[in-house]
């Protein structure tokens, strides 16, 4: 009876060990290889834990620059903790396997032998063939995690740099003070007429956001190099500007602008869905609302700079409101999740009075 119980424990331990190893392999492959939205549940849980630990403290900071200083630790802590979790799962799984095969009679010795193989130090290798084969396999997995660490961190940094380059470009043209229509007003003032190239450029930026930040949501929290700047505000400017272009300009060809708009809205929707379960403590939002008079004033400035706008003022305002409704709530949700304070009118909805006037 005792032998049967011992055998049952060994079999159960072996099955649990195999399950843990499979959990590890599934997590690693989904994070590193399988490009699918809402992929690995384990890495998402680790990310949620890191965000929960830091977001509460960040929300208590007095300025957004201080918030960014703390949020800059989210990605490195996330990567480090994810690797620790992976190592822990692998070591636990192979410890159970080594003990199940009786390569080591003591469970403590099995844990030590597993750590020896996982760390590739090799100070304690089981003497029998089964234990040595398990040590080879576990050592290969340990090396795989190390390779992941040195391969994916540069990739993450490159992604952030590509995002930051466009954000810095926009802030530079706004003199550091972004407004809702900075992009379209600056382009009209520049004298260039290739609007399609402008919208295609920002379409590529939005597409990069969708492909990277939806797969690795922790990237969304990484702040820009320049304190006070944020990619969410840049996205708001780009979408408000392209919405003004589609609603107010007498343009014969708007296909590039329409694609830019759809790509931007889809990108924000994907990232917002990934961050929906990581809502932090919302900062005080005292931004001014986007009003009809503000929109009309921007149109008048564009006309003064030689832009050809539609003459029906009410029609262009109604169309702009319709377009902004597609992403307004997404901007607010992202700003709350990323602890971004109000940036003037950029991340604020239309006024209630203006919305009622349209009904």
Position 295 in a domain: yes
Distance from C-alpha of 212 to C-alpha of 179, rounded to nearest angstrom: 26
Assess whether 192 and 299 both reside in one domain.
Answer: yes
Nearest in space to 119 (alpha carbons), one of 103, 100, 102, 138: 138
Confidence at residue 356, expressed as pLDDT on a 0 to 100 scale = 46
CB 82 within 8 A of CB 32: no
pLDDT at 300 over 90: yes
Q: What is the mean pLDDT of residues 168-176?
A: 86
| 320/64: higher pLDDT | 320
Confidence at residue 85, expressed as pLDDT on a 0 to 100 scale = 92
Assess whether 199 and 314 both reside in one domain.
Answer: yes
Q: Which helix (H) or strand (E) holds 90?
A: helix 74-100
Confidence at residue 29, expressed as pLDDT on a 0 to 100 scale = 83
Q: What is the mean pLDDT of residues 205-221?
A: 87
Categorize the per-residue pLDDT at 347 as very low, low, confident or very high, splitting at 50, 70 and 90: confident
Assess whether 209 and 126 both reside in one domain.
Answer: no
Position 158 in a domain: no
Count CB-CB contacts under 10 A for residue 334.
22
**% of the chain at pLDDT higher than 90:** 29
Confidence at residue 288, expressed as pLDDT on a 0 to 100 scale = 65
Categorize the per-residue pLDDT at 34 as very low, low, confident or very high, splitting at 50, 70 and 90: low
Assess whether 95 and 133 both reside in one domain.
Answer: yes
Q: What is the mean pLDDT of residues 115-120?
A: 84
pLDDT at 283 over 60: no
Q: What's the gap between Cα 236 and its chain centre?
A: 16
Assess whether 182 and 324 both reside in one domain.
Answer: yes
b/e code 314-330 from CB counts within 10 Å (16+ = b)? eebbebbbebbebbbeb
Tokens standing for residue 358: 């349209």
Confidence at residue 12, expressed as pLDDT on a 0 to 100 scale = 87
Least confidently predicted of 147-151, 159-163, 249-253, 294-298: 147-151
- Domain C-terminal end among 115, 149, 183: 149
Confidence at residue 47, expressed as pLDDT on a 0 to 100 scale = 83
pLDDT at 194 over 60: yes
Assess whether 264 and 124 both reside in one domain.
Answer: no
| 212/63: higher pLDDT | 212
Average pLDDT value over all residues in the chain: 84
The residues pairing with 309 across neighbouring beta strands, listed in sequence order, are: 249
Position 321 in a domain: yes
Assess whether 121 and 197 both reside in one domain.
Answer: no
Position 206 in a domain: yes
What are the φ/ψ torsions at residue 254 (nearest 5 degrees)? -125, 10
Assess whether 33 and 119 both reside in one domain.
Answer: yes
Count CB-CB contacts under 10 A for residue 128.
12
The residues pairing with 249 across neighbouring beta strands, listed in sequence order, are: 309
Rg (CA), the chain: 27
Assess whether 8 and 46 both reside in one domain.
Answer: yes
pLDDT at 319 over 90: yes
Assess whether 46 and 116 both reside in one domain.
Answer: yes
Position 61 in a domain: yes
pLDDT at 245 over 60: yes
Assess whether 129 and 258 both reside in one domain.
Answer: no
The length of the chain in residues reads 359
pTM: 0.81
Q: What is the mean pLDDT of residues 341-355?
A: 66
pLDDT at 136 over 50: yes
52 lies in which domain range? 2-149
Assess whether 187 and 122 both reside in one domain.
Answer: no
Q: Per-residue DSSP letters for 327-356? A: THHHHHHHHHHTTPPP-TTTT--B-HHHHH
Q: What is the DSSP letter of 287?
A: P
Tokens standing for residue 140: 């290969």
**% of the chain at pLDDT higher than 70:** 90
Confidence at residue 318, expressed as pLDDT on a 0 to 100 scale = 94
How many structural domains comprise the chain? 2
Position 166 in a domain: no
pLDDT at 358 over 50: no
Confidence at residue 254, expressed as pLDDT on a 0 to 100 scale = 84
Position 340 in a domain: yes
CB 201 within 8 A of CB 257: no
Nearest in space to 79 (alpha carbons), one of 162, 149, 158: 149
Position 168 in a domain: no
């Amino acid at each position: 009876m005792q032998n049967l119980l011992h055998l049952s424990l060994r079999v159960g331990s072996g099955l649990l060990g195999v399950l843990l190893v499979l959990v590890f392999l599934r997590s690693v492959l989904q994070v590193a290889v399988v490009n699918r939205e809402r992929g690995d549940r384990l890495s998402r849980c680790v990310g949620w834990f890191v965000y929960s630990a830091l977001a509460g403290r960040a929300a208590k900071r007095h300025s957004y620059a201080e918030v960014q200083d703390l949020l800059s630790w989210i990605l490195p802590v996330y990567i480090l903790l994810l690797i620790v979790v992976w190592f822990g799962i692998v070591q636990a799984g192979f410890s159970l396997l080594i003990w199940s095969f009786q390569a080591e009679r003591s469970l403590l010795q099995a844990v030590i032998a597993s750590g020896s193989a996982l760390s590739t130090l090799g100070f304690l290798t089981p003497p029998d063939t089964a234990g040595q084969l398990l040590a080879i396999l576990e050592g290969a997995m340990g090396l795989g995690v190390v390779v992941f660490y040195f391969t994916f961190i540069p990739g993450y940094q490159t992604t952030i740099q590509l995002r930051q380059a466009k954000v810095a470009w926009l802030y530079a043209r706004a003199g550091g003070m972004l407004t809702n229509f900075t992009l379209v007003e600056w382009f009209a003032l520049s004298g260039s007429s290739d609007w399609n190239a402008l919208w295609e450029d920002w379409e590529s930026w939005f597409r990069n956001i969708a492909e990277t930040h939806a797969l690795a949501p922790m990237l969304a929290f990484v702040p820009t190099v320049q304190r006070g700047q944020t990619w969410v505000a840049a996205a708001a400017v780009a979408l408000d500007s392209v919405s003004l272009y589609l609603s107010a300009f007498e343009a014969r060809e708007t296909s590039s602008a329409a694609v830019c708009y759809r790509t931007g809205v889809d990108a924000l929707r994907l990232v917002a869905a990934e961050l929906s379960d990581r809502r932090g403590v919302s900062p005080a939002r005292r931004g001014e609302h986007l009003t009809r008079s503000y929109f009309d004033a921007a149109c008048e400035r564009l006309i003064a700079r030689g832009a050809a706008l539609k003459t029906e003022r009410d029609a262009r305002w109604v169309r702009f409101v319709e377009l902004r409704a597609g992403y307004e709530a997404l901007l607010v949700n992202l700003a709350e999740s990323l602890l971004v304070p109000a940036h003037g009118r950029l991340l604020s909805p239309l006024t209630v009075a203006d919305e009622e006037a349209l009904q």
